[in-house]
Amino acid sequence: MTRVRPSGKADAAPILRIARSEPLFTKEDREVVEELLQEFLADPGGDYFFLTALDDGKVAGFACYGPTPLTRGTYDLYWICVARSKRRKGYGRALLRSVVGRIRREGGRLITLDTSGRPSFAATRAFYEREGFKASARIADFYRRHDDLVIYTYPIPRA
């Protein structure tokens, strides 16, 4: 059974292992995951929140999100990342639904997320589109030549 809960100190090493093994993550992505995770663990009420998906008590994946600075009710979803061996088993969906529910309880109204337009990110984009996210903007050559930024938005339905 999938369980999602706020990440704790014992989750740090497995989360970082999952991030290190994710081929879509760059070295910089991995470094930022580690930096934000350490910030969250030091101050769970800060600007970044991490959730952990568990499979029989073992970390299967994680999500990171936080309020968007200078907005009211808008949140950034930074990552949902599931261990390769746990993909297509509902962990990503469970993490996303938990993120949406927590943001809704905080009074959030909109989630945004940025991802790459490269073909290797097609499954990522398809996942978010299946879950109701809309591609709202595309900036050509944003990350590097032939690597567009695709911005997705998700208006949070009222409970």
- Per-residue model confidence as pLDDT tens digits over 53-84: 999 889 999 999 999 999 999 999 999 999 98
**What amino acid occupies position 56?**
D
- Per-residue model confidence as pLDDT tens digits over 11-68: 999 999 999 999 999 999 999 999 999 999 999 888 999 999 999 889 999 999 999 9
7: left (phi over 0), alpha (psi -120 to 50) or beta: beta
> Position of tokens 């009211």?
72
Model pTM score: 0.93
- Per-residue model confidence as pLDDT tens digits over 105-128: 999 999 999 999 999 999 999 999
Alpha helices in the chain (DSSP H): 12-21, 27-42, 91-105, 122-130
Residue 53 burial (10 A CB sphere; 0-12, 13-18, 19+): buried
Which residues are CB-neighbours of 70 under 8 A, at least 6 positions away? Answer: none
Six-digit token string for 98: 């938990």
Six-digit token string for 114: 């940025």
